[in-house]
């Protein structure tokens, strides 16, 4: 997978690693709140498609018209303590709120621009000051989202081509100097200690300007982190795309921003709320991969967080109060790949096994864990030891652990089994056949064979292939079969970040155990993964393969034709071999 991006920043004054709190917390509250909550997804009586905070852009509303919304923005029902308590009760340890989104409106009392909630609205109070105070009292980190690049109200900001079609690079540099840096200085000198600045959409900004902003933030508050979207990979940690989730454990420090429905800013019409199961599954999935989960709410123009958001966060909080030990302060699990129905985190010699569904056979079966288990318990029933058997690996048969489980699942949503080990978990290397018989050839577990010239196959941040545009690139695997037999072959191709919807069309050839199968990539079925809602993975069936005996086998995937319609090339996540 992509090499670590977290560069340990040499900060003379900071005695501790500024990243340490961030790695500890794992779970934060994102808040998108601004003038866009007033129209709430409708303009001139008509619904405006897309995410709510983009209404000015989607409806091409002139800045002179949009700014009149300020006169109607009076969130009298806002209560900072209520919002912060919601985060605390949900087990969230940092709060990131929009101080200025792309519409250019500052949600705090800014002297650098009169276009702000204190000077331009009847509310005339500074909600971020009140939130900062409540966060400090509650002991959670106050953080600010700041759109450093897009600013649809400023002639120098990017993104508003309908009012400012002739904006130049010099205008943009002036915008950074006269609005962005003065506002960052206000946010970093008037609101107490700030955990991080969440920059966004680095479209126009140059690498020099990104580095300058990062250094500016660190000069004002050496321990304040800078998100990956400051641009040009110079952030203190990596930011995935919205709702983007890696396909396996990932090196370095990464965060996934995610919505509870399909919008960040409030929209009256968006009721596509995710279920608590989905949200908890994402929490444990991301924690198992060492990724922070920044989950968003979009408050109304009155200052109220919508009830469906509150209900979900409260239910997550109940789960966190019982099981949070498996999330907060843990590291990514020891398995580099996803295991069906299980996600893992670890802390020293303690391994947390998080079960999405309670096994019908009342057994937790794991293969590949080399380390001896000393004790097995249910996290929420620590006094009751669970019986287990453990066998070491022998040739093509990997080590195997079986833990006997009670009939009743430990939690209505995700149950946590604690394994206390003789030493920190050690995993058998390579691709192992799972207890269900499934063998998964993940792209990030394969060997890439880049072409000698031209664009070369590589892994993208989520661990799928990208930049695979020519036939001279390929990928191969070596894997262990424990159970001889015949297996269905399913190739998974995911939607790319720059594609409005999933695109197939490639013609690929798989050579496995001496047989070749060539297929045109199309969506014969869809994989059920945590990524599916936003990044669907289509399955193309490549027939079957038979293994006569246990042992190590090889596979290679080559491209005969690559569809030019796909701007990111062949986006392979994995090939699954499933028992017939
Ligand atoms: C950006 C904003 O435009 C949006 O309004 C919201 O604030 C979100 C959290 O961030 O949207 C993005 C930015 C980057 C990607 C996708 C949406 N990306 O990299 O795929």
Q: Which residue's alpha carbon is nearest to atom 12 within ligand 1?
A: 242
Which residue is associated with the tokens 């063998």? 439
pLDDT score of 2: 43
Kindly state if the Cβ of 41 falls inside 6 Å of ligand 1.
no
**Nearest Cα to Cα of residue 306 among 272, 280, 338:** 272
Q: What is the pLDDT along the chain (580 residues), one digit of tens a residue?
A: 444 444 445 544 556 899 999 999 999 999 999 999 999 999 999 999 999 999 999 999 999 999 999 999 999 999 999 999 999 999 999 999 999 999 999 999 999 999 999 999 999 899 999 999 999 999 999 999 999 999 999 999 999 999 999 999 999 999 999 999 999 999 999 999 999 999 999 999 999 999 999 999 999 999 999 999 999 999 999 999 888 899 998 889 999 999 999 999 999 989 999 999 999 999 999 999 999 999 999 999 999 999 999 999 999 999 999 999 999 999 999 999 999 999 999 999 999 999 999 999 999 999 999 999 999 999 999 999 999 999 999 888 999 999 999 999 999 999 999 999 999 999 999 999 999 999 999 999 999 999 999 999 999 988 999 999 999 999 999 999 999 999 999 999 999 888 889 999 999 999 998 899 999 999 999 999 878 888 899 999 999 999 999 999 999 999 999 998 888 999 999 999 999 9
- Residue 330 makes CB contacts below 8 A (sequence gap 6+) with 26, 287, 345, 346, 347, 352
Strands ordered across the beta sheet of 515-520: 447-449, 474-481, 551-561, 507-512, 515-520
Say if residues 571 and 464 touch (Cβ distance below 8 Å): yes
Kindly state if the Cβ of 497 falls inside 6 Å of ligand 1.
yes
Kindly state if the Cβ of 200 falls inside 6 Å of ligand 1.
yes
pLDDT score of 71: 98
395 CA distance to ligand 1 centroid (A)? Answer: 48
Which residue is associated with the tokens 């650098």? 112
**Nearest Cα to Cα of residue 480 among 549, 426, 571, 570:** 549
- Residue 477 makes CB contacts below 8 A (sequence gap 6+) with 431, 441, 445, 446, 447, 554, 555, 556, 575
- Furthest-apart CA atoms within the chain: distance in Å: 77
Kindly state if the Cβ of 300 falls inside 6 Å of ligand 1.
no
306 CA distance to ligand 1 centroid (A)? Answer: 21
Alpha-carbon distance values, 89 to 29, 32, 81, 110, 145 (Å): 11, 19, 12, 31, 22
pLDDT score of 461: 86
Say if residues 318 and 324 touch (Cβ distance below 8 Å): no
CA distance 377 to 253: 30
Say if residues 395 and 432 touch (Cβ distance below 8 Å): no
Q: Which residue's alpha carbon is nearest to atom 3 within ligand 1?
A: 201
CA–CA–CA angle 412, 416, 421 (5° rounding): 165
Kindly state if the Cβ of 461 falls inside 6 Å of ligand 1.
no
**Nearest Cα to Cα of residue 158 among 237, 80, 104, 211:** 104
pLDDT score of 15: 67
Kindly state if the Cβ of 505 falls inside 6 Å of ligand 1.
no
129 CA distance to ligand 1 centroid (A)? Answer: 25
CA distance 475 to 448: 5
CA distance 38 to 299: 10
Token pair in block for residue 62: 């002139």
Q: Which helix (H) or strand (E) holds 30?
A: strand 27-31
CA distance 101 to 199: 10
> Can you tell me which atom of ligand 1 is nearest the CA of 51?
5
478 CA distance to ligand 1 centroid (A)? Answer: 38
Q: Which residue's alpha carbon is nearest to atom 15 within ligand 1?
A: 241
Instruction: Give the β-pairing of 27-31 and 94-100.
Output: parallel
Kindly state if the Cβ of 402 falls inside 6 Å of ligand 1.
no
- Sign of the alpha-carbon torsion through 263, 264, 265, 268: positive
Q: Which residue's alpha carbon is nearest to atom 20 within ligand 1?
A: 241
Token pair in block for residue 530: 């945590």
pLDDT score of 8: 45
Token pair in block for residue 514: 């001496």
Kindly state if the Cβ of 149 falls inside 6 Å of ligand 1.
no
Kindly state if the Cβ of 53 falls inside 6 Å of ligand 1.
yes
Model-level pTM greater than 0.85? yes
CA distance 235 to 194: 16
Say if residues 419 and 376 touch (Cβ distance below 8 Å): yes
Which residue spans within 101-209 are E strands per DSSP?
A: 141-146, 196-198
Which residue is associated with the tokens 């045109």? 520
**Nearest Cα to Cα of residue 184 among 236, 113, 256:** 113
DSSP 179: I
């Amino acid at each position: 997978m992509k090499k670590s991006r977290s560069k340990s920043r040499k900060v003379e004054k900071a005695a501790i690693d500024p990243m340490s709190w961030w790695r500890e917390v794992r779970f934060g509250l994102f808040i998108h709140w601004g003038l866009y909550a007033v129209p709430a997804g409708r303009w001139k009586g008509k619904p405006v498609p897309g995410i709510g905070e983009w209404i000015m852009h989607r409806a091409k509303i002139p800045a002179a018209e949009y700014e009149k919304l300020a006169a109607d923005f009076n969130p009298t029902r806002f209560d900072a303590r209520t919002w912060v308590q919601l985060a605390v009760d949900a087990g969230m340890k940092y709060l990131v709120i929009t101080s200025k989104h792309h519409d250019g409106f500052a949600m705090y009392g800014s002297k650098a621009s009169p276009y702000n909630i204190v000077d331009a609205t009847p509310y005339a109070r500074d909600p971020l000051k009140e939130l900062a105070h409540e966060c400090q009292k509650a002991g959670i980190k106050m953080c600010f989202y700041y759109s450093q690049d897009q600013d649809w109200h400023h002639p120098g900001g990017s993104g508003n081509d309908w009012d400012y079609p002739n904006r130049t690079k010099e205008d943009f540099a002036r915008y950074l100097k006269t609005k962005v840096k003065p506002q960052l200085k206000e946010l970093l000198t008037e609101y107490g200690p700030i955990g991080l600045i969440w920059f966004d959409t680095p479209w126009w900004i140059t690498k020099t300007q990104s580095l300058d902003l990062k250094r500016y933030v660190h000069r004002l508050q050496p321990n304040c982190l800078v998100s990956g979207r400051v641009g040009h990979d110079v952030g203190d940690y990596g930011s995935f795309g919205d709702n983007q989730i890696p396909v396996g454990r990932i090196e370095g420090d990464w965060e996934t921003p995610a919505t509870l429905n399909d919008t960040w800013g409030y929209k009256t019409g968006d009721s596509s709320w995710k279920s608590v199961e989905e949200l908890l599954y994402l929490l444990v999935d991301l924690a198992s991969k060492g990724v922070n989960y920044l989950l968003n709410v979009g408050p109304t123009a009155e200052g109220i967080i919508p009830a469906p958001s509150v209900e979900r966060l409260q239910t997550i909080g109940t789960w966190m109060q019982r099981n949070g030990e498996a999330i907060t302060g843990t590291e990514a699990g020891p398995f580099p790949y996803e295991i069906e129905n299980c996600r893992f985190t670890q802390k020293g010699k303690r391994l947390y096994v998080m079960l999405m569904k309670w096994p019908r056979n009342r057994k937790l079966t794991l293969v590949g864990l080399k380390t001896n288990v000393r004790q097995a318990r249910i996290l929420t029933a620590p006094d009751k030891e669970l019986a287990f058997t453990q066998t070491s690996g022998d040739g093509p048969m990997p080590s195997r652990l079986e833990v006997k489980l009670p009939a009743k699942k430990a939690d209505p949503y995700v149950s946590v089994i604690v394994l206390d080990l003789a030493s920190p978990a050690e995993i058998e290397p390579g691709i192992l056949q799972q207890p269900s018989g499934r063998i998964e050839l993940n792209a990030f577990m394969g060997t890439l064979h880049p072409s000698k010239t031209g664009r070369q196959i590589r892994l993208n941040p989520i661990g799928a292939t990208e930049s695979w545009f020519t036939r001279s690139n390929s990928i191969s695997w070596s894997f262990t079969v424990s159970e001889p037999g015949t297996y269905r072959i399913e190739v998974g191709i995911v939607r790319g970040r720059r594609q409005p919807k999933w695109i197939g069309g490639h013609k690929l050839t798989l050579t496995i155990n001496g047989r070749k199968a060539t297929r045109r990539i199309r969506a014969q079925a869809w994989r059920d993964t945590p990524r599916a809602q936003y990044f669907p993975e289509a399955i193309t069936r490549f027939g079957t393969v038979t293994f006569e005996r246990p042992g190590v086998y090889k596979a290679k995937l080559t491209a005969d034709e690559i569809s030019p319609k796909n701007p990111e090339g062949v986006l392979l996540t994995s090939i699954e071999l499933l028992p017939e």
